[in-house]
């Protein structure tokens, strides 16, 4: 059975459009790294970062990073 656009409510049409746009954007802009393996040094760095967080270590505030890079925050 096929439905004609004239038979849809405004909300149904909006939902179809939103779903279609989301699908197309995902198709066009999908994750370019999907399927790639992380290098071992990156895995180790992520593990250290997660462990530091679990241990209560704080990161560098964004304002400090911006200052170090000569950016205004």
Q: pLDDT tens across 42-62, in order?
A: 999 999 999 999 999 988 899
Sites in the chain below the pLDDT cut of 50: none
Q: pTM (2 decimals)?
A: 0.43
The Cβ of residue 45 has, within 10 Å, a number of other Cβ atoms equal to 12
pLDDT of residue 20: 97
CA distance 41 to 55: 21
pLDDT of residue 2: 86
DSSP secondary structure of 11-60: HHHHHHHHHHHHHHHHHHH--TTTTPPPPHHHHHHHHHHHHHHHTT----
């Amino acid at each position: 059975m096929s439905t004609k656009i004239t038979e849809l409510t405004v909300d149904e049409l909006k939902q179809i459009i939103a779903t279609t746009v989301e699908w197309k954007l995902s198709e066009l802009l999908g994750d370019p790294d999907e399927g790639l393996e992380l290098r071992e040094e990156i895995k180790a760095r992520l593990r250290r970062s997660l462990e530091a967080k679990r241990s209560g270590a704080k990161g560098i505030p964004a304002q400090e990073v911006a200052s170090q890079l000569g950016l205004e925050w």
